[in-house]
Structure 1
């Protein structure tokens, strides 16, 4: 395992190719990363750059539309697999950590095959296809990651699969606009928070004002930009499953330097892997420890995500 500014980079190509002789080493590296910082980068994941670029470009075209057009893709609606647009400052992610302040300076498009949303706007067929294709690629990669996690923990490789039948995963494209004028006091692109679910797979880009991860000592670490890599982090639900041994680490997206100008626009694509609603999150046996006690009581994923969402949206 190599480390870039304390966040490890792990090549999983041999796992995907079926090289069983390399599986143990990969699982051990993932286990160490999850215990130490809760973040790591994966290369060799086999997700094509074309799939990634298509969604990036189609979403960017949407974000460049006038606000009056974007607002038509609002968050009201019960169409399964619909589209949800959240405008600037709608979310305040630091609220999930009890910090009250201005909304985050970002806007987003949100989709989940098993989640409700509004109707897709007219003329958005290419955007919808890009979301569906990328979502499917993330389902494949996340299944690989679940198998790696199971080996790392010492569980059968299909241990989590029943929990993810009918999963409630979400795919989001986030636009962080340039900041030609100073923001409100304390306002940032995305406030410090932890992710709610099982894990997050992030496609990021190397622009000013990026992702930072909080190290064990409290210092903020810039997440590295590695060509072709995805950033993966553990979410709160998975941390509960591991009795707090694997870490759901606070992270944030900071503002660009004041003089960054036109090169400071940023766009990222996180995939949030979530179990199905009635999945009970309870401590896995290998993490019970000598006392045999769980730090948190059992809770369904539906109840847990409802609580976290209320905190984020005030």
Structure 2
């Protein structure tokens, strides 16, 4: 499996040869796995730590308190059993062992009074990720040999989501059911996702091989992790693969269940999903004879497939 590490600073300010090397590494990585790791992104590590500290306070609130902040389409908390990421490909996929706090554009957000420090860092993180998205869209366009505005031209009214994913310990979730994961095997449906993640035994895995292989388990490998390089993980979703004209793939991934041999392990990921405005026409490709006409309709269709409550 080849998931490359690319430096955005080298792409922004390097000479022609260095820029070509960055683009070649990016292209090979997205063709192989749909994933790439980026450094030189400029997202403040202290801010990410502040988000985690404040979010932990929110996730530690009693369930009855969190229920008052449940996500009803305007952001807030999604509790255990709320989603099944694998349900798009397999309707029988069990609920995921994850809790989420979500923020959407054009909404003030849903913020717990009992965790007052949460709002400010999450909103600032969303602003920094919004800036990074535009850089990444131009980088992707450059790697495809397209003009800089190839993807940013659809940015007006962008339909992003900023999630904090909390993966509780086995002590908190109990033993997983057969086939149950922190996040089940899936491809994202978005243009791209950007992850600031923690590594552990119950970690992110990427599929390195065809989904219909006889021994599929042998194709799953732990995603590389580069904390010393301050790297963020970027993966393409279905829309990103379509906009590449099929050159790149939407990366298959899952998050392993809480491990029995590390029953206290808890992990938290900051996950940014980026999509163009909902009125944007669907890109060509995708292989389906019938599909929605707009990005917004496509996203709603996919979202409804994973929501359980």
TM-score normalized by the length of structure 1: 0.87
Shift of 1:19: 2.6
2:67 to 71, 86, 90: 71
Aligned to 2:294: 300
Alignment of 1:28-47 (within 5 A): 28-47=24-43
Once the two structures are superposed, residues 65-119 of structure 1 have per-residue CA deviations (whole angstroms, 9 ceiling, x without a partner) of: 1111111111226xxxx532100111011101124132101100000223x4764
Alignment of 1:1-314 (within 5 A): 6-16=2-12, 18-21=13-16, 22-76=18-72, 82-114=74-106, 116=107, 119-180=110-171, 181-217=174-210, 218=216, 219-227=219-227, 228-262=230-264, 264-283=265-284, 295-296=287-288, 299-313=293-307
Matched-pair contact (CA < 8 Å) for 1:282–1:299: no
Matched-pair contact (CA < 8 Å) for 2:278–2:295: yes
> Which consecutive unaligned segments of at least 5 residues does structure 2 have?
211-215
TM-score normalized by the length of structure 2: 0.89
Structural RMSD (CA): 2.0
Aligned equivalents of 2:277 and 2:254: distance in 1?
A: 27
Once the two structures are superposed, residues 102-140 of structure 1 have per-residue CA deviations (whole angstroms, 9 ceiling, x without a partner) of: 2101100000223x4764332554311111100111111
Aligned equivalents of 1:120 and 1:46: distance in 2?
A: 26
Aligned equivalents of 2:194 and 2:129: distance in 1?
A: 8
Aligned equivalents of 1:294 and 1:133: distance in 2?
A: 35
